[in-house]
Every structure is written in structure tokens, then in C-alpha cells.
Structure 1
Amino acid sequence: GIKVKSIFGGSAAQHLCLIDGEDRLWSWGNNAKGQLGVGHTTNLAQPCLVKGALEGKKVTGGAAGKAHTVVILSDGSSFSFGTNKYGQLGLGSVKYSITSKKKNQAEELHTEPVKNTVMNCSQVSCGSEFTLWLVGGTGGVLSAGHPEYGQLGHGTDNQYNASESSLKMYFQPQPQPKYIAALASKKVVAIASGNNHSLALDSDGHLHSWGFGGYGRLGHKVQKDEFKPRQIEMFENRLTLPLDSKIACGNMTSFATIKGGQLYIWGKPKATGDTIMYPKPLLEISGWDIRSIACGNGTFAIASETSAITWGTAGYQELGYGPKGKKSSANPAQVLDLEGKLTLEVACGFGNVAFLVDEKEDLSSFEEWEAPEVVTPQPEPAKKRKGGAKAGGKGKKKK
């Protein structure tokens, strides 16, 4: 086996990644767009070492989007792989225009790691179809990708009409990572992204949010999209956040920890029920020393003390309650099989949750995962038609 140092996923991702003790990257899961970076587009049921341009290099962190992955290396450089349809890989250009009328135009996929244009990177976060990079030292934030809800933070959604005769609106992709001007006067120390919104924590303990504002996920008491970062009023004065605050974004929710072991939540954490329009303490987690927090599409996971805690709307038993346990949980609940064990880190995706447990813990009672063999479907041979179409007859319409 390998020693795992870190794990990561993303709220919209159907794949997971890990960094091993030798600072190498491994990935597994959905690979339809090459987001695993292993040189092909076949799904993988178990971790596979990512080589190519990363071979011999030290990976220090990363994040996963819906169909792309971005990592950072020990020298501050950043590599990306997966789809570049909206410029989310940060390569400086996109191969095809989104308004192109060419039939059967292939989507731009990079199935192996490609170096993007960002340098001196200290952290990265991925939304569904966009990416943020935090620059070490200066604390500047760059963004690239899909701008539809203002999630790039540049004051616009880049919407335009392709022609005067067309009613269809398009959103111009931004393939070149660009500094977010609204944060230029701040030194950002941490970033987090959900499907279409983001958070940034600055060195003064203030939290900023922008992007899609539905269900109150931005914490501004209104359901309004924000096209550039806006400071959340709640976290001011005596409620400023510590610089080591854990911040996280799900599809429709946001989280932040404050001093004293209190977790604040806003947005729509439950499939039913009211929305939380501004940050409120999550009382069930009050007093817990949170080490790690992660969000899936509608699921949440926390590593705290010697417990792992999960909750949310789940469809694949990813909350870890066991085959006979409940599938979903409206409120935070401890994962009993991991109770008393030191969970170092948690990672979530769309339909999956991963727990990184300290190597000193006894895990002999756990079954070892045996990955099923992945079978690539083969196209059926074309059947010969009996006879030909009669002259003047009507052929069958294609469905």
C-alpha cells in the first residue's frame, strides 16, 4: 500500500484525488472528460498514479471541478487536466468557440496534466466550471473559466448576443487567469468554491463571497448574484474570523469556523425546509474542534477530535453509516465505525465521501475495497438490412 498524505474532491466532482507520502498524485472515479489526468477517458474504480508532466514533481495541493482538476506543485506552478470548454484549466486560450456552428465539433479535452499560466500559487479551488488560484506572499486571487453567475469576480457575467437576429445569449469564457480587482487591497489567506460561488478569507479576518446568490449561499440576506467579492457583514468586529478558519462551499451552502469551536452555516443545507439567508451557528456542532470540513453536492463531512461527522441528502450511502444504517441525515451524526479514531481529513464529491484516518489507528476490522473490473462497452456490429427500400416508399425517420 501507499501512505496517503492528503485527499481532495469538489462539490460538483464525481472523482477524487489523493497525494501520497512521496508527493505524487493519484486519482479515480468519473473520467469522461479526462479529469483523472491518466491519458485516457475510461472511468477508474481504484486510484491510479498520475504521471506525464507531473512525473518526478512534488504535488502539494489541488481541487476538483465537475470535469476538471487543477493541482499546485512545491515550486508554486500549477497544472490542469480535463475539459477546457470554458477555459477553466487556465491555459490562456480555448480551442473552440462556444458559438461555433460546426457539426460534430469535439470538446477540448486534456487527458494528461498541462501547465497553466499561474505561478507562485499557494492554494487552488474549483467550482463546477471555473477555477480560483491564491498567490502566495501577495495574497492575490486569480480566476478563469465560466462567468455566467459572476463567479469569476470581475464585475460581469460576460453575457453577449452572438448576432442581432438571435435571441440566444452566450457567456464569453475566460481562459486567461485574471486577478480579481475587488480583492487587490486585501491579502487573502484562504479560498473555497462551490458549484457557482466562492469565499475568500482575508488577513483582517473578513470573509468575502461572490457568484450565484440563490438560497442565500452568499450570506448577504438577499438572493442576488454578486459579480464581484462582497464582504459578509456578519463577520466583523468581535466576530472576525481567525486566520486558520476552516471555510468551505457546497452546491447551495457555505461554512466558516470562528474562535471557540463554533461552525457557522448559510444557504440551503437541506432538501426541504427554509433557507438560511445569513450566517448562523450550527448548534449541533457547537464546541467541536474542527480539523477539516468538506462539502459535496448536498452532503457534508467534518473531521473533529476523534470523530468523523456527516450529514445531508445522500443517494449512495456515502455518509458512512453502514449498509444497515440510514442513507441520509438531516442533522450532523457521528460515523460510528470511525468513532474514537483520528480522522485527519475529509473530502467530498457528488455521491462520494472519503476519510483520511491516521496510520496509527487500527483499521483491521474494516474490509479492504476490491474494485470491480471496469468494462468498456463495445459498439454492437451493424446489422445487415434485409432487402432495400421500395421505390417511392417512405423511409423510417431516425429517432
Structure 2
Amino acid sequence: MEDEPPPQGVSAKALEATLLSALKMLDVGKWPIFSLCSPEEIKLIRQACVFGSAGNEVLYATENDEVFVLGMNCSGCLGTGDMQSTIEPRRLDSLCGKKIACLSYGSGPHVVLATEEGEVYTWGHNAYSQLGNGTTNHGFIPCQVSTNLVNKKVIEVACGSHHSMVLTSDGEVYTWGYNNSGQVGSGSTANQPIPRRVTGCLQNKIVVNIACGQMCSMAVVENGEVYVWGYNGNGQLGLGSSGNQPTPCRIAALQGIRVQRVACGYAHTLVLTDEGQIYAWGANSYGQLGTGNKSNQSYPTTVIVDKDRVVEIAACHSAHTSAAKTQSGQVYMWGQCRGQSVTFPHLTHFACTDDVFACFATPAVMWRLLSVEPDDHLTVAQSLKKEFDNPETADLKFLVDGKYIHVHKVLLKIRCEHFRSVLNNDDEIIEMSEFSYPVYRAFLEYLYTDNIRLPPEDAIGLLDLATLYRENRLKKLCQQTIKQGICEENAIALLSAAVKYEAQQVVA
């Protein structure tokens, strides 16, 4: 059956470009700040969070559980002990080996991090006590927050602009920091310098998920009810009013609907139900509610995302952007996208919601701590390299100095003119006595890898082989190896070889 033609009005090149851009979205390199890292450094990253007023700070953890930071370092938010910006990754020794479980950040910025052990660390801007250490002094290094959290295991963290919230494994919520609108849920508007448990309506409830808008807070309890508190000037609490709420209050309009997750934008809110539906409310000047208009909503409103079941929602308190992923893997975005207002969920070519924030949010920050799966896909070159001297797949053996080297006839014929003319299909073992085992092995490995690995003294023998087989590129590599390895002890022997093989690069 023939392939279906591209849809009318869409060129094959445009489709190809879309596919390629989707493929490129698989690593952290889509965030501009990672252009400061080398490809080798990026390959080692397993967790990352880009934050800051312009997406100009990042913390990342490597496959070895080392933690590094990079960027502007506003208010000491990199945790390096100073306020110096850096374009070179700097290691945070105090967090290495801690195994990060979750991370969030505020607008100051300040950072709140929880480890897999459930410990909480904070640092950065602290003018409103958002670090939870009882002071208003900026924190230049990560410090553990222990007040009222001793013997508690924190499993989730969230930050508003200048307040912080954590969820413990036993379903309790603790808050601290800026409280001008009641966002810490204490019943007053006084800033809270240390973590205190949020009680009131949550006193006997088990909370399973938390989120913060700029100046509001949300909690989902195990029966699917949603409780909200804090600033409500845009209706972001979903209570049908615009008055602030200093203590947790249940959203009555969601009665009978079981909510699983909540996500907060700058001043809007999204929830995901157990049936895979989205409800949204709050500010809508950029269409971030996905309702098709730009009118604020103070009650939960259904968001239509095709007919597919939604499995993930995404928003970030520093942006006016919304995103969702469906069960079939389709990713939608709406709200402020590259400065434009998208008022309906728009189907993208992305593979995950994180890509929406990398490419379209302002600023280009992460909405969560991003986990990067190691790329197990091997390129053609990597696959060939892996198969060198593999007896399980080889169909030919060279016997040199009593040792076997396992290779593949077809590759040798493709890569070397000499073998194309001398190899026969019925060859199984070929004895080689003209060259030593290290030299011949290095030659065969070169055919698989395009590189040579052997000491300069053996490179003389390989140069002899390259000359005999008329492998000019290999000759040049041998000459470079010999030249780089010249020292007092071997200078005469190596230079003699250079003269013998007319190796201009060596004697130059």
C-alpha cells in the first residue's frame, strides 16, 4: 500500500521539519541556558530545573548524583555561597549524593528542595522569610529546614512568588513566608518566618497534592476535594468571588467531582479529575483558561481538549501558559505562547508538556523538576563500535600471534578496498603473520571506529600496514600518533620510521 500523501496545503518539507523538531525535544538542550554546557556535560544530566526571571538560572543533578548550578545567581539563588554569576557549572557539594526528589522556586528567586529521604533544603531570596529559617537574611548556601519538620518526611514542595509550602508523607501541609493576602493559610496576614502546619478545614484531612500561584495556595485531599486560600483578585480560588481567603476553603462548585491534581499559573488554576477532564478558573487575559475567550472566571469551567482523556496538566506560577497531555500522548498548549494569546487548547508536535514551557512560555522556565531518561538509542557509528570483536555476531576470525579477533566480512569489504578484493564468502579463519597482534587489532578496530588506540611505537607497524593497504587516512592518523608520542627515549626510532614512510607530518 502506498504512503498517504501529505494533507493538502502542507508540504513534505514542512512535515519533515515538524518531525525533526519533535525529535530534537528529547533533551534539556531546548532551554537556552544549557547552551553554556558542553555536549558531554548535557549527556550526564538526569534531573534539571531552569528558573529565574528570564530563565537564566539552572540547577541540575547528574547520573552520579552530583549537583551543579549555572547562571545569574540573583539573590544568591544558586547556593554557591556568594552572588557571583557563572557561565561554568559549579558543584554544590552540600547536595551531592542527596538524591533530589522534588524542587520548586519563587520569584525572588528562592529555592525549596526535598530529598528522597524527605529532608527540606532552602536558599536564595529571603526578604519575606520564605526560606523558613526564622530570619529575613538571604541564604547563600542550601540549609536544611528543620523547625516543625523533624521526623516528618516531605514528599512534595511548592513555591509562590515569596511563600513556600510542603506536603508530608502523612498528608500534612506546612507553609511559611510572605502572607500579605493570606497565602500561608494561618488566618492572619502576618508573614510566617518558620514552617507551621495549615489546619482549619484541613485539620483532619489527608492531602495528596499541593500547588501555589503567585500569592495563593491549593491542596487536593484524598477524597478528591480541593481546598484553596490566599489572594483571589482574579478569581483564582474558584470560589465565585474575588475576596482574599486567609484560611483553607473548599471549592463547593466541584462538589461530586473527584480531583486528582492541581496546577497553578501566575493567577489561574487548572485541575485534573479522575475521569481525565480539566477544569480551569482565574485570570484569563491571555486565554490561559482555554475557554475560547479572555474573560476571567471565578468558578471552575470545563476545558475541552479533543475527546481524549487527559493524564497530565501543567502550569507555572511565573507564567500565563497552560499545557496538557492526553492518554494517547498528544500535547496541547494555550494561554500566553511566545507573546501571543492562544484561547483554545492547541495541538502541538511536542512529546511532553515540558517542551511547551521550553519553547513557548515567558520566561522559558520549567514547571517542575525535569527527569531526563538516559538515551539508550545507539547511532550507526556507536552500534558498529559495539560490535567490534564480538564473537556472537561475527562471521570471520583473524588468528594473529595465537589470538583471535572477531570481525564481520561485509563491514570489512565496505570499509577497506584491500578486503574487498581478497575476502571470500567461505572464509571463516584467516591467519595473519605479517603484523603483530596489537597492530592488526588496532587496524581492524579502526575500520569499526575511525580511530586508533595504540602507543606510538606500535603506530610505526600500523603505518607500515596502512602503506601496504593504501589506507591514506590511516597513515595520517599514525603520523599524528607518532608525532605526539616523540620523547628522548624513542625519538631516533620514530624519526627513522618517519623518514622510511615519508611521513611529512612527523618530521615537520
TM-score (norm 1): 0.71
TM superposition shift of 1:335: 3.1
Distance in 2 (alpha carbons) for counterparts of 1:363 and 1:211: 50
Distance in 2 (alpha carbons) for counterparts of 1:148 and 1:283: 35
Q: Per-residue CA shift, 1:330-385, capped at 9, x if unaligned?
A: 3322333x3xx466787677511458776559899xxxxxxxxxxxxxxxxxxxxx
Measured on the aligned residues, the alpha-carbon RMSD in Å equals 3.0
Distance in 2 (alpha carbons) for counterparts of 1:294 and 1:133: 18
TM superposition shift of 1:285: 5.5
Question: Structure 1 residue 177 and structure 2 residue 195: aligned?
Answer: yes
Q: Per-residue CA shift, 1:71-121, capped at 9, x if unaligned?
A: 001211110110111111111x215xxxxxxxxxxxx22222111123421
TM superposition shift of 1:19: 4.5
TM superposition shift of 1:308: 3.2
Question: Structure 1 residue 64 and structure 2 residue 64: aligned?
Answer: no
Once the two structures are superposed, the pairs formed by residues 217-366 of structure 1 within 5 Å of their partners are 217-237=236-256, 239-241=257-259, 245-271=260-286, 273-284=294-305, 287-295=308-316, 296-304=318-326, 305-314=328-337, 317=338, 327-336=340-349, 338=350, 341=351, 351-354=363-366
For the 8 Å contact 1:127–1:195, the answer to whether it is kept is yes
Distance in 2 (alpha carbons) for counterparts of 1:13 and 1:211: 26
For the 8 Å contact 1:125–1:132, the answer to whether it is kept is yes
* Residue identity matched to 1:293: A
Distance 1:330-1:12 versus aligned 2 partners, 3 A rule: farther
Secondary structure at the aligned position of 1:246 is classed as strand
Distance 1:80-1:220 versus aligned 2 partners, 3 A rule: same
Aligned residue number for residue 145 of structure 1: 177
For the 8 Å contact 1:12–1:297, the answer to whether it is kept is no
Aligned residue number for residue 126 of structure 1: 159
Question: Structure 1 residue 33 and structure 2 residue 33: aligned?
Answer: no
Question: Structure 1 residue 116 and structure 2 residue 145: aligned?
Answer: yes
Secondary structure at the aligned position of 2:253 is classed as coil
Distance in 2 (alpha carbons) for counterparts of 1:280 and 1:363: 46
Secondary structure at the aligned position of 2:75 is classed as coil
My pick for the range that moved more, 70-79 or 263-272, is: 263-272
Distance in 2 (alpha carbons) for counterparts of 1:199 and 1:10: 21
Aligned residue number for residue 89 of structure 1: 131
TM-score (norm 2): 0.56
TM superposition shift of 1:16: 4.7
Aligned residue number for residue 216 of structure 1: 235
Ranked by relative contact order (alpha carbons within 8 Å, sequence separation 6 or more), the top structure is 1
Q: How many residues align?
A: 318
Distance 1:342-1:225 versus aligned 2 partners, 3 A rule: closer
* Residue identity matched to 1:36: L
Secondary structure at the aligned position of 2:166 is classed as strand
Distance 1:44-1:202 versus aligned 2 partners, 3 A rule: farther
TM superposition shift of 1:291: 3.0
For the 8 Å contact 1:265–1:282, the answer to whether it is kept is yes
Secondary structure at the aligned position of 1:62 is classed as strand
TM superposition shift of 1:3: 5.0
My pick for the range that moved more, 146-155 or 303-312, is: 303-312
Secondary structure at the aligned position of 1:61 is classed as strand
For the 8 Å contact 1:264–1:281, the answer to whether it is kept is yes
* Residue identity matched to 1:269: N
TM superposition shift of 1:52: 3.4
Aligned residue number for residue 74 of structure 1: 116
TM superposition shift of 1:270: 2.7
* Residue identity matched to 1:196: M
For the 8 Å contact 2:76–2:82, the answer to whether it is kept is yes
Distance in 1 (alpha carbons) for counterparts of 2:66 and 2:310: 30
For the 8 Å contact 2:65–2:96, the answer to whether it is kept is no
* Residue identity matched to 2:184: L
Larger relative helix fraction: 2
My pick for the range that moved more, 301-310 or 191-200, is: 301-310
TM superposition shift of 1:132: 0.4
Distance in 1 (alpha carbons) for counterparts of 2:208 and 2:67: 24
* Residue identity matched to 1:142: Y
Distance in 2 (alpha carbons) for counterparts of 1:278 and 1:9: 32
* Residue identity matched to 1:70: V
Distance 1:154-1:74 versus aligned 2 partners, 3 A rule: same
Distance 1:216-1:267 versus aligned 2 partners, 3 A rule: same
* Residue identity matched to 2:214: N
Once the two structures are superposed, the pairs formed by residues 189-204 of structure 1 within 5 Å of their partners are 189-204=208-223
Distance in 1 (alpha carbons) for counterparts of 2:313 and 2:127: 31
Secondary structure at the aligned position of 1:33 is classed as helix
* Residue identity matched to 1:69: V
Identity of matched residues, %: 25
Distance in 1 (alpha carbons) for counterparts of 2:52 and 2:279: 18
Q: Per-residue CA shift, 1:111-170, capped at 9, x if unaligned?
A: 221111234211110000000011112x11111101100000011112xxxxxxxxxxxx
Question: For structure 2, which runs of at least 5 residues remain unmatched after alignment?
Answer: 1-41, 288-293, 380-508
Distance 1:220-1:23 versus aligned 2 partners, 3 A rule: farther
TM superposition shift of 1:230: 0.3
* Residue identity matched to 1:132: M
Distance 1:186-1:266 versus aligned 2 partners, 3 A rule: same
* Residue identity matched to 2:272: T
* Residue identity matched to 1:32: C
